[in-house]
Amino acid sequence: MQETLQALQGLQQIDRHIFKVQAEQRRLPEELALRTTKIEEQEAKLQEMRTRIRGVRSEAKEIEDLTVGMRQRLRKLESESNKGKVDAALLMSYQHEMRKLKRNISQAEDDALKKMEAGDAGDANIVTAESQLELAKSVFDEFEANVAKELEEANSRFDELQADRDKLSADGIETDHLELYRRLLEIREGEALAELLDGHCQACFVQIPKNIGVRLARGTEMVQCPSCDRIFYQY
């Protein structure tokens, strides 16, 4: 068992670094994707603002077009009323319609003005959002370039480690033991082994019952930490 543990310790020396590099290889693209999504959300929001403001402006335009028609009608009624040939009943009806038109025109002018103001406020918000997006994009571009560089470094580091790893033989290690070691590497974040020292696991620092130390010292079986499951070794 001593030979197995020594062989595993040899593997562990490199596997711990491989684990870290692999974590980097996963983390970097994930973070980039997350930031890409954020930029896209920001762009979509800006587009939404632009659409909304275009809508408000076109509503204002519609109202203005409507008042043009109402003003024309008003002028026509005014000129008809002033001709003097109109009978009293028709005149009253004209006057009634003219009052109504004036009210509607005034209301429409208020509405149009409010929409124009909302459009102007929206334009100001868009200018702010555009400059925020531009800033976010330049930060993103820098980050993206860094990620590419870091990823390239991680990849070449990985290749180096893998080459070193390939030189180590795992031939002398039983399949079961090797599988256990690999599983622990994954679940214990790159540290599958732990030293048992002074009655404590040096990975999780839990106090270990004496009989486990005795079993380990006997050197005839693989002994794991009862708390973190790591494979024990001791000097």
Instruction: Indicate the residue among 147 and 197 with the shorter CB distance to Zn ion.
Output: 197
Least separation, in Å, of the C-beta of 165 and Zn ion? 25
**Least distance to Zn ion, CB of residue 179, Å:** 19
Q: What does the block give as tokens for 64?
A: 């203005």
Structure tokens at 54: 């275009």
Number of residues that bind Zn ion (CB under 5 A): 6
Least distance CB 6 / Zn ion (angstroms): 20
- Given 25, 104, 227, 234, the residue binding Zn ion (CB under 5 A): 227
Contact between 228 and Zn ion by CB under 5 A: the answer reads yes
Nearest approach, Cβ of 168 to Zn ion (angstroms)? 25
Instruction: Tell me which residues in 69-98 interact with Zn ion (CB under 5 A).
Output: none
| CB within 8 Å of 219: residues ≥ 6 apart | 1, 2
8 contacts Zn ion (rule: CB under 5 A) = no
Q: Which is nearer to Zn ion, 78 or 189 (CB)?
A: 189
Residues between 152 and 211 with contacts to Zn ion, criterion CB under 5 A: 201, 203-204
Contact criterion met (CB below 8 Å) for 8 and 173: yes
Residue 225 makes contact with Zn ion by CB under 5 A: yes
Find the shortest distance in angstroms from Cβ 233 to Zn ion.
Answer: 12
CB 230, min distance to Zn ion, A: 5
User: Closest CB to Zn ion among 27 and 200?
Assistant: 200
**Residue 15 CB neighbours (<10 A):** 22
Shorter beta-carbon distance to Zn ion: residue 151 or 212: 212
Token pair belonging to 204: 């999780």
**Interface positions with Zn ion (CB under 5 A):** 201, 203-204, 225, 227-228
